[in-house]
Chains A and B, each alone.
Chain A
Amino acid sequence: MRPAPPLLMLLPALVLLPVLALLPSQWHGGGGELIGRFLLAAVQPSLDPVVLRSIMGGLAVTLGMAFLGWSASLVLGLVLGAASSRTVWSTLSGHRWPAEALRRLLAIPRSVHELIWGLILLQLLGLQPVVAVLAIALPFGALVARVIADLLDTLPTHTLEALRGGGAPAPAALLTALGPPLLPGLLSYGGYRLECALRSATLLGVFGLGGLGTELRLTMQSLEFRELWSGLWLLLAVMLALETGVARLRRRWLMPSRLGLAGGGVGRRGREMVLALLALVPLGLVVARALGVEASALLRRPPLPALPPPDWAAVAALPWPALVAGTVVLTLVAACLAVGLAPLQWLLVAPWPAMKMLMRLGWALQRLWPPPLTALLLLFLLQPGLLTAALALGLHNLGILGRLLLESAVDSGAGRQQALLGAGSGPRQALLYGRLAPVANAYLAYGAYRADVMLRETVVVGLVGATGLGSQLMESLSSFAWDQILALVAVYALLTLLGEEISDRARHRLLEGKGQREREASQLNTSY
């Protein structure tokens, strides 16, 4: 027996039971005064011109880096995505294994956090702005590649078969059959990645360039809350503006015009896209020039560190089972919290519009605060440990998943909900069965992708005590223990692969039958 999709969506929220049961034992509440100071600082951020100038400059650098990293990751993702698609390979060569192999290989860049990429690239390329761009582009590119490959492989293949059957050469048939249907998914996912890149550049603290990330990180570590809030407010404004802009574009380009002829006529969308694309190229060049990002820097080879002989005995002596178990539990609890809480919260506040506004504001703040900040605030009230770490990661990602849920549910149309309301169901039932049910599968699939991200993010919440592999990786990095770093990255990659395998299987079980599969593909398009 399988539960219906909307209930499946709420199932992860069951993790709340053990979490709430354990919470009182973790409570110390001794930092209430610090929380108070933090909140008070929100209404009186520092307006010191020196601080503001450095924040504005930092924001410009961060935005520029996010933009460049995002562009590079899209290019990388498109190429690698096509190269790891089963459909593409089987059409071109009749074999599927190269796609499978590449797909698994890409788990390595995907499973390493941007911060770690930055530190590793710093070793290879030196202190260069290009390091920050690559640190975003590599893991994001591999992630985009996975999503593109998934999209390509879930697209209906009858057009492709028809073209091939008609004698069209393979490359042309692929482009014609898969190109146009891929575009909507690519556009909406691409837009979403830009938001992710901004968040990531903020956490990263751009190497050798300062940037808002460095400012936020250091103000947080030194508890200068007023200065921290100056940066956070500015970032919130930029983040919301970006999200709104991306959502508008997405709707404009992807939603079929309701009033048919009222649009700008045939080809308007294509013209706008080409224009936007053309505008992005010079913009990228200008930004790269302003930030001193140079392709030639990639050719620079500073001497590698004198590598001490690897000490595999010490590597083997690390408490692996405990590290892995800690990381897996942390990721699972955080993922369940984030995935399950978003629809639950929405259902709870459904009858009151004012509460819904509050919820949206809460989610915006949650995704704005980098996970280490959430962890620090939680530590003012809770004892360090796995639960606190899971809450920090869970709450941050809840902010992201909540927004995606809202957005995709808005697109799913209010008609069904209205019909249910009209038929006399309560507001919560109407929301659950009218709006949430159609997007449930896509939302859960997205939750699985997001769990990958949470696995990587376990490296940034080390201040809540031992968080398994993440804490160990930070420790090995600061000891320049290359053998340990290598082993840890390998374990992260294995866990990522395993997680993807499980989520893929779960998804395929959810989507039995081809018709449903096609519907899923179209839902994925609108929900990223």
Chain B
Amino acid sequence: MPFRLRSAAPFTGLIAGLALAVAPALSPAVAPTGPLVAPAAAQSTSQPVLRIGAIPDQKPEKLNRLYPLVAGELSRQLGVKVKYVPVVDYAAAVSAFRTGDLDLVWFGGLTGVQARLQRPGAKVLAQRDIDVSFHSVFIGNVRSGLRPFNQQKGLTTLKGRRFTFGSESSTSGRLMPQYFLQQAGVKLSDFAGGAPGFSGSHDATIALVQSGAYDAGVVNEQVWRASLHDGKANRARVQALWRSPGYPDYHWIAQPDLDRRFGAGFTTKLQQAILSWRPSDPEQKQILSLFGAQQFTKASPEAYGRIEQVGRSIGKIR
């Protein structure tokens, strides 16, 4: 009955199309970056899986390159299964850590403090050499007439200008800059439009200030340098205005119960593994260079006391 067959074609076609599109999810060869097994399901199997995550502060291509490398390296050193679980934003990373769905997370200063407050007992394992004293850079559009300054007081020149932060939860793109602004006597309502923008990322901040949409903004120094280096930031159109004092930023945080789930002393072994990465090992060199660091060093929770204090004073931590 050829007619009947043809008459059913549109919807079977639609369904076949859907099925085809979903088919890749079934084949491990083209598995997406995300896990295909729910974390809960993974937990119930006999061998525990260490789930690592990170705040998404980089382009996805870099995240997708870096964290599977980290997972592979940790798995090799520790002899356990390690899986990278991507999350969609900073707040989601904090929440997933609180609910126990991520075991080891690369947090920023503020998100790390938020995570430890929501998950008491969580352990600060390590930071990069550059995180001990991290800096923000205030940048301005060249045509805006804003000029570089050496004193923090110079921040008052931003009053009445269109200004953007990065992500709401970013330490270097929002928290500490807001604190420095406050110290200089600049309120958020002093900016043009009565409030700052939130560009969502450091890259977007640079592009938007360079284009002139915003007169000024603030970014993480590491990203600013990289953008100058690869030409994404055009010195003729966007310039650094002021480099902030240093403060502690990114760090690795682990769940409090790893020893119970993976065996006594696991947390220490995990910390030792991260601290042992050196540029002399080709695999580890790649990881370190993607992190933009020479090596990781021990970090203590006390170092982030100041971040917590600032977070509380501007209402990001309650």
Q: Find chain A residues with CB under 8 A from B22 CB.
A: 60, 63-64, 67, 286-287, 290
Known contacts being A249-B10, A275-B8, A379-B211, is A223 close to B100, with CB within 8 Å?
Answer: no
Q: Find chain B residues with CB under 8 A from A54 CB.
A: 32-33, 60, 64
A264, B143: Cα distance in complex, Å: 70
Q: Does A479 count as interface, using CB distance less than 8 angstroms?
A: yes
Contact B86 A245 (CB under 8 A): no
Q: Does A351 count as interface, using CB distance less than 8 angstroms?
A: no
Contact A480 B318 (CB under 8 A): yes
Contact A465 B195 (CB under 8 A): yes
Contact A60 B32 (CB under 8 A): yes
A206, B168: Cα distance in complex, Å: 20
A125, B96: Cα distance in complex, Å: 10
Q: Does B264 count as interface, using CB distance less than 8 angstroms?
A: no
A60, B32: Cα distance in complex, Å: 8
Tell me how far the C-beta of B71 lies from the nearest C-beta in chain A, rounded to whole angstroms. Answer: 14
Contact B318 A481 (CB under 8 A): yes
Q: Find chain A residues with CB under 8 A from B85 CB.
A: 127, 208
Q: Given B30, B60, B197, which contacts A384 in the complex, CB threshold below 8 Å? A: B197
Q: Does B302 count as interface, using CB distance less than 8 angstroms?
A: no
A436, B276: Cα distance in complex, Å: 71
Known contacts being A214-B60, A249-B10, is A57 close to B32, with CB within 8 Å?
Answer: yes
A96, B272: Cα distance in complex, Å: 68
Known contacts being A384-B193, A384-B197, is A305 close to B204, with CB within 8 Å?
Answer: no
Q: Does A40 count as interface, using CB distance less than 8 angstroms?
A: no
Contact A31 B318 (CB under 8 A): no
Known contacts being A30-B141, A30-B213, A283-B19, is A479 close to B7, with CB within 8 Å?
Answer: no
A305, B193: Cα distance in complex, Å: 35
Known contacts being A126-B99, A218-B60, A272-B8, is A30 close to B34, with CB within 8 Å?
Answer: no
Q: Does B309 count as interface, using CB distance less than 8 angstroms?
A: no
Contact B211 A34 (CB under 8 A): yes
Q: Does A359 count as interface, using CB distance less than 8 angstroms?
A: no
Tell me how far the C-beta of A196 lies from the nearest C-beta in chain B, rounded to whole angstroms. Answer: 16
Contact A294 B207 (CB under 8 A): no
Q: Does A489 count as interface, using CB distance less than 8 angstroms?
A: no
Contact A297 B13 (CB under 8 A): no
Contact A60 B92 (CB under 8 A): no
Q: Find chain A residues with CB under 8 A from B162 CB.
A: 383-384, 465
Closest to A462 in B: B198
Report B200-234 residues with CB < 8 Å from chain A CB: 200-201, 203-204, 207-208, 210-214, 232
Q: Given A123, A300, A382, A475, which contacts B40 in the complex, CB threshold below 8 Å? A: A300
A214, B89: Cα distance in complex, Å: 9
For A280-296 the 0/1 string (1 means CB < 8 A from B) is: 10010011001111101
**Residue from A126, A128, A303 having most chain B Cβ neighbours under 10 A:** A126
User: How many A-B contacts at CB < 8 Å in the complex?
Assistant: 288
The tally of residues in A whose CB lies under 8 Å from a CB in B reads 103
Tell me how far the C-beta of B216 lies from the nearest C-beta in chain A, rounded to whole angstroms. Answer: 12
Tell me how far the C-beta of A41 lies from the nearest C-beta in chain B, rounded to whole angstroms. Answer: 14
A222, B219: Cα distance in complex, Å: 13
Closest to B211 in A: A31
Closest to B21 in A: A63
Q: Find chain B residues with CB under 8 A from A466 CB.
A: 193-195, 197
**Residue from A209, A224, A311, A481 having most chain B Cβ neighbours under 10 A:** A209
Q: Find chain B residues with CB under 8 A from A322 CB.
A: 194
Report A214-265 residues with CB < 8 Å from chain B CB: 214-215, 217-219, 221-224, 227, 238, 241-242, 245-246, 248-249, 252, 264
Q: Given A60-B21, A245-B14, list of 12 further CB < 8 A pairs?
A: A30-B212, A57-B34, A60-B24, A64-B22, A208-B96, A241-B17, A276-B15, A283-B19, A297-B38, A384-B162, A475-B168, A480-B318
